[in-house]
Structure 1
Amino acid sequence: MATIAKARGMRKVMNPPEARLWASLKLLRKQGFHFRRQHPLRGYFLDFVCLSRGLIVEVDGEGHEHTADWDRRRDAAMAELGLRTIRIPASRIRDDPHDVIDFIVRELEAAAPTRPLRGHPPRDGEGE
């Protein structure tokens, strides 16, 4: 339960670039792309994730240059789950928000839909 409480707390104190991106990502629901923010997964907190497309969007601020090794390990752990991470500099969200959203939409459209992490397997005769 502590993990969920921490995620909830992190959602309340998003920095300005994260808040701005979140406002734009919520609008993508109309196109069928549902994002979660500060989603806990395997001991990590993902800035934004669209589970149906297996895409994680991380906002990298100035402090991220000091965490490159940690970020690589985390990205590798997520890749093992079939999730791909894209990293967006906070300055790019501030300076070119429309270009950032266009880039994210292209990445979402290029990604094949995934099966949910939870739920029932397909019925006999469905799938491969």
Structure 2
Amino acid sequence: MDRTAYARRLRQKQTLAEKTLWTLVRNRRLSGFKFMRQIAIDRYFADFICEAGKLIVELDGAAHDGREAYDHQRTERLEQLGYVVLRFHNERVLADPGGTTDEILAALRSARP
């Protein structure tokens, strides 16, 4: 499967936490920062990315249980490419969406020159 088709499939099968966060950051709703979702970077797909802030937001659910080493390796590679990676558990996004976006916004503002 090509990367575009795979990204499209990921967007169609997003989790409730991904839907929730996407609603909060899409269309420049988060202080004018543009986010995209399920974007191919190197050999990975980033859940959410803000290119202007060089920020990637990853949401971790049950599928990430037992994959901590893989996630760590992935984060290291994305950081080598110049990105800051924020990780949130799905439960956090669902329980405290405002706090999650506050933390994302703080990371974006601190990254701005």
TM over 0.5, shorter chain: yes
Counterpart Cα distance in 2 of 1:60 and 1:89: 5
1:42 and 1:85 map into 2 onto residues whose CA distance is 14
Q: What's the Cα RMSD here?
A: 1.6
1:104-119 alignment runs, 5 A limit: 104-112=104-112
TM-score with structure 1 setting the length: 0.82
Number of residue pairs aligned between Structure 1 and Structure 2 = 113
Structure 2 counterparts to residues 15-34 of structure 1, below 5 A: 15-26=15-26, 28-29=28-29, 31-34=31-34
- Within 2, Cα distance between the matches of 1:30 and 1:67? 30
2:38 pairs with 1:38: yes
Deviates more, 1:62-71 or 1:4-13: 62-71
Question: Shift in Å at residue 84 of structure 1?
Answer: 1.0
Change (3 A) 1:110 1:13: same
Q: TM-score, normalization: structure 2? A: 0.92
Shift of 1:30: 6.2
Give 1:65 deviation, angstroms: 3.0
Distance 1:107 1:29 in 2: 16
Q: CA deviation at 1:32?
A: 2.5
Divergent runs of 4+, >4 A: none
- State the SS of the aligned residue for 2:33: coil
Partner Cα separation in structure 2 for residue 28 and residue 80 of structure 1: 26
Larger CA Rg, structure 1 vs 2: 1
Q: Give % identity.
A: 35
Q: Any unmatched runs of 5+ in structure 1?
A: 114-128
CA contact (8 A) 2:27 2:34 kept: no
